[in-house]
Amino acid sequence: MPFFLNMFGRANRDAGPVGPRDAGGDGDGLPMPRRLWAIAAISFGSALFVIDGTVANVALPTIARDLNVADGVVTNVVTIYQLVMVMVLLPFSTLADRLGHRNLYQLGQCVFLAASAMSFFVDSLPGLLVLRAGQALGAGMALSVSAAMLRSIYPERSLGSGLGINSVIVASSNAIAPTLGGFLVSQLDWRWVFFAAAPLAVISLIIGRSLPDPVKEHRRFDWIGGLLSAAVLALMIGGVQVATHDRSWFGFGAIALGALLAVLWVRRSLGQERPILPVDLLKRPALGLSAMAAVAGFIGSALLIVALPFKLEQGLGYAPDEVGLLIAPFPLTLLFVAPAAGWLSDRVSPSVMGCVGMVIAIGGLILIGLIPGNAHPFAIAWRLSLCALGFGLFFAPNSRLLIGSAPKERSAAAGGLLSTSRLLGQTLGASIVGVLLAMNLGLGVAPAFVAAGFALLAMIGSAYRFRVTGSNLMRKRAG
């Protein structure tokens, strides 16, 4: 009986304390109706960056043909966006404490709008990559503080449900993005896909005054640590991309240099009170294992979503607008699973939910890998829905545990860690797709099977976290 109470009780054993005292609220979330306006502002912002990050996936084959570049190379349109965001998330999550969370969030949206306005002037792949880097810079500024502001908006007892609502917005945006991207590519110029989400930034800025009031800390920013952070991620992830092409020696050299700088970065962080790399948080099993599991889980989901348009269009012969509709079951299923998973994460062990979810996802990924060449759209749809069910049961509880286990004064750092784990996983997933395409393996079973392998790693991380946190709880009770 104690085992079941620990596993399914409301105060489940691997759910840490939640709920900081926010600025502009009463310590238990923002007051009504301001809370509703703040939720709307965050929701439009979340939708903005999700749509912009995924709407281009369907357009990649068309962009490759129009700009006369190889399929493996055009995936850099996705990778550069995610890479720049990964590079800036941790530094900006620390800088946000000096500038104020709301100030940085809205500044990022302005930067994003400026970059989006330049999308119609792009006529080459290098120019497109520069544009995507500018959009990613603005998105990274905003996303570095979005989770911390969510923690201030919602009452502590409802954090899991609040993250579930935000997951609904993310899932809805993911559902809209493929269909929107397919429509724009088939009916208009492909450049429209990079401007499609800009109106959402305008709406979020208009109602953004309802967000928690900015509180600035007079704390010195570690510029050296920020540069080390960006350099390590750029060298290691960029090196993987370069290594897949003709300059493989240069790519492996970049990876080796990045690994060396990573050692220096970690050693520097260990001696600081609030480092860019939050090693103090990563030492906590609930946080460190959640972050590692998140990276593996997002690699698996990104592998599936980035590789699927190539398989459906070039492998199975579907048109771009049909590809968008065929991918839609994945985010549509998440739309229904996410709120339920968020609500359950306040009541059921997130580790248990994560293990169950990954078992389901692994099964769905294997089935997608084995799908026949003459598969009916329904056969594709139910397999994608099964994958989405698994990933949905994993992501929201895992995020709730990562955010809720951090001390309230470290909310921004925990939020940056969560966003970095997500973007790092998605970037590595897109990079792996580029590798598989360059090796002529991107249209077969390899992407789905490799994704299943990373889902297995996420399941192992969740299971080990459950074991470690349970052991810690028993020691505390014995003491």
Rounded mean pLDDT, 279-285: 79
Q: How far does the chain reach from its first CA to its final CA, in angstroms?
A: 21
pLDDT of 471 higher than 70: no
Rounded mean pLDDT, 95-119: 84
Q: What is the pLDDT of residue 16?
A: 42
Q: How many Cα atoms occupy the beta-carbon half-sphere of 84 within 13 Å?
A: 20
pLDDT digits (tens, 9 = 90+) for 396-407: 788 877 777 777
Q: For the chain, give percent helix, strand, coil, nearest 5.
A: 80, 0, 20
Quick one: CA dihedral 162, 163, 169, 171, positive or negative?
Answer: negative
pLDDT digits (tens, 9 = 90+) for 333-364: 877 887 787 777 767 777 888 889 999 999 99
Q: Which of 44-58, 208-222, 250-264, 437-451 has the lowest mean pLDDT?
A: 208-222
Q: Which of 21-25, 158-162, 286-290, 368-372 has the lowest mean pLDDT?
A: 21-25
Q: How far is residue 159's CA from residue 212's CA, in Å, rounded to a whole number?
A: 16
| Tokens (6 digits) for 276 | 């860019």
476 contact partners, CB below 8 Å, separation of at least 6:
none
Question: Could you give the 3-state DSSP secondary structure of residue 261?
Answer: helix
Q: How far is CA 57 from the centre of its chain?
A: 15
**Mean residue pLDDT across the chain:** 77
